[in-house]
Chains A and B, each alone.
Chain A
Amino acid sequence: AQTVTQSQPEMSVQEAETVTLSCTYDTSESDYYLFWYKQPPSRQMILVIRQEAYKQQNATENRFSVNFQKAAKSFSLKISDSQLGDAAMYFCAPNNAGNMLTFGGGTRLMVKP
């Protein structure tokens, strides 16, 4: 079974600053993906970024990037130049065979103007 730990229930960042959300996981899978999803107040689950575990290069999507440490089973999300629209719950999730995701408990990100 997979477990996912997001140790920061809440984080706060000043607009235009950088923030890092942490995530650690445990899995017995050898080949898997890791995801960060954003859930704004509308509750829609929005994919932020995806990392393939076999790739050493960290994924980047515009202002969003990850620091993937496979041996340490760590998958943190860095948001640069934070914007008010980034305020949301953020969930980390590895998948297992079959696209079934295991979600962490989430980190609530607040962005201060």
Chain B
Amino acid sequence: NAGVMQNPRHLVRRRGQEARLRCSPMKGHSHVYWYRQLPEEGLKFMVYLQKENIIDESGMPKERFSAEFPKEGPSILRIQQVVRGDSAAYFCASSLGPNTGELFFGEGSRLTVL
């Protein structure tokens, strides 16, 4: 399957722990986007990365959240000291380039904070 792969699909954390969500883009794609979906809401843009660079992080909370897309390996969204309000579905999408009009989504990672 050459689609966007996210893992884990489900993650449970206790308050104060760290959550790491991984995203492997489609083969050949070097642009990755992270979105968050709270219950009963639409997806909200968080961050846009290209290999080794953060292009736009205007949707990222200022504290506890970080993202990276290293030269080798998947993109990682990291949430430190999780709180209950971080419980959501986190979607990754990838594209071949900027403004191509083609964005492919993974199946999402559902984070539950107890």
Chain A residues close to B by CB (< 8 Å):
4, 33, 35, 37, 42-45, 47, 50, 52, 91, 95, 97-106
Contact = CB atoms under 8 A, between A and B. Distances in A.
Contact of A99 (B41, B44, B103): B103
Q: Which range holds the interface residue count of chain B?
A: 20 to 34
B108 A100 contact: no
Contacts of A33: 101
A104 B48 contact: no
A66 B113 CA distance: 39
Contacts of B69: none
Contact of B107 (A35, A42, A91): A42
A99 B43 contact: no
B91 to A, nearest CB: 6
Determine the main DSSP class of B at the interface with A: strand
B42 interface: yes
A98 B43 contact: no
Nearest to A91: B42
A104 B42 contact: yes
Nearest to A97: B99
A43 B108 contact: yes
14 contacts: A4-B42, A33-B101, A42-B107, A43-B110, A44-B105, A45-B108, A98-B56, A99-B98, A99-B101, A100-B45, A100-B48, A101-B35, A103-B43, A103-B44
Contacts of B33: 99-101
A103 B42 contact: yes
Contact of B105 (A45, A50, A95, A102): A45
Nearest to A2: B45
Nearest to B98: A98
Nearest to B3: A44
Contact of B45 (A43, A91, A102): A102
B77 interface: no
